[in-house]
Amino acid sequence: MDARDALLAALADPTRWRLVSLLAERPRPVGVLAQLADARQPQTTKHLQTLERAGVVTSQRTGQRRIYALEPGPLRDLAAALTRLADTADQVDGPHATYDRYGLSLRAERLTAEGAGWADGRSFRFHRSLTADPELVWHHLTEAVLLARWWTPENLRVSELVFEARPGGLIVQEYRDAEDADDSSPVAGRAEGVVDDVRPGERLAYRLSPLLPDGSVAFTAHVDTALRPADAGTDLDVHWRITDSTVDSADFVAGIEIGFGQSLDRLAATFTADPHDTDSTDSTDSTDTRGTQ
């Protein structure tokens, strides 16, 4: 146990916390501390020894009494560490902010989902200006190895992916937590679908249905993707339209705008990092990428 762990363990006990609060006012002898803490002196002595080993109090003998005093340094160090943790969680547009946004959307969608078909007709539109030509963007939209690099929200990874870029082609998308290295945690999500229209470099349309834990369809997303040449590269427009929505689809619908938006941001970042990356032969860790074309 390191010093910080020892300090946290020492402060976790309510009696020891009371003793620290009393010593913050002024140094006091054991007998007085026991009275003020409404505890027996032997127990108080043991608590004080624990606090002393943790470095948060110090003591010295004066005549027949042992006087204890607070050491503020470890508390300040702990407070600084806790502040850093809070600041990390509270960073603007950070992971915790995304979590809060999803929570708000989730509560709203659950209130709306009162019956089958509740979300039918709902639309979501996305636009990104990408720094790559339409041909290169097309590769990243239709080749499974390249899709696997971006086709999940933040903190997730593709664990199985099939994308047959032809009319009637099969789509399978499964993803897990990015830190679930051995696939021991439950699957974060799985969707299955079919390709409807393929116009290389111009349009890609498909249907994709997220699956509920029992394997049934949560809803069907009709996804229409259009590519247009632009001065900086490619203007990408994606339109999602919902059909076949079930009551249990609320959790999925709540995440579309945030989740797919993050996926597109990852796609854009791919071209910013390496605008000439056309390698579709590299394997992706623990990803099944069967049926790329």
* Average pLDDT in the chain: 92
Dist CA 293 CA 137 (whole Å): 15
Using one digit for the tens of pLDDT, what is the confidence trace for 50-71?
Answer: 999 999 999 999 888 899 999 9
Helix, strand, coil in percent for the chain, rounding step 5: 40, 30, 30
Asked whether residue 107 carries a pLDDT value surpassing 90, the answer given is yes
Report yes or no on whether pTM surpasses 0.85. no
Comparing 97 with 197, the larger pLDDT belongs to 197
Query: Distance from CA of residue 5 to its chain's centroid?
Result: 26
Find the mean pLDDT for residues 26-51.
96
Find the mean pLDDT for residues 60-83.
94
Burial class (CB in 10 A: 0-12, 13-18, 19+), 8: middle
Using one digit for the tens of pLDDT, what is the confidence trace for 222-264?
Answer: 999 999 999 989 999 999 999 999 999 999 999 999 999 999 9
Q: Where are the beta strands (DSSP E) in the chain?
A: 28-29, 57-62, 65-70, 123-130, 156-163, 170-177, 189-199, 203-210, 220-230, 233-243
Asked whether residue 182 carries a pLDDT value surpassing 60, the answer given is yes
Asked whether residue 24 carries a pLDDT value surpassing 90, the answer given is yes
Instruction: Check: CB of residue 283 under 8 Å from CB of residue 254.
Output: no
Q: Could you give the maximum distance between any two Cα atoms of the chain, in Å?
A: 93
Specify the pLDDT at position 277. 60
CA-based R_g, the chain, Å:
29
Specify the pLDDT at position 281. 46
CB count, 10 Å around CB of 262? 18
Dist CA 140 CA 142 (whole Å): 6
Specify the pLDDT at position 92. 74
Show the tokens assigned to 239: 């339109």
Specify the pLDDT at position 93. 75
Specify the pLDDT at position 271. 94
Show the tokens assigned to 34: 């026991």
Asked whether residue 273 carries a pLDDT value surpassing 90, the answer given is no
Specify the pLDDT at position 64. 86
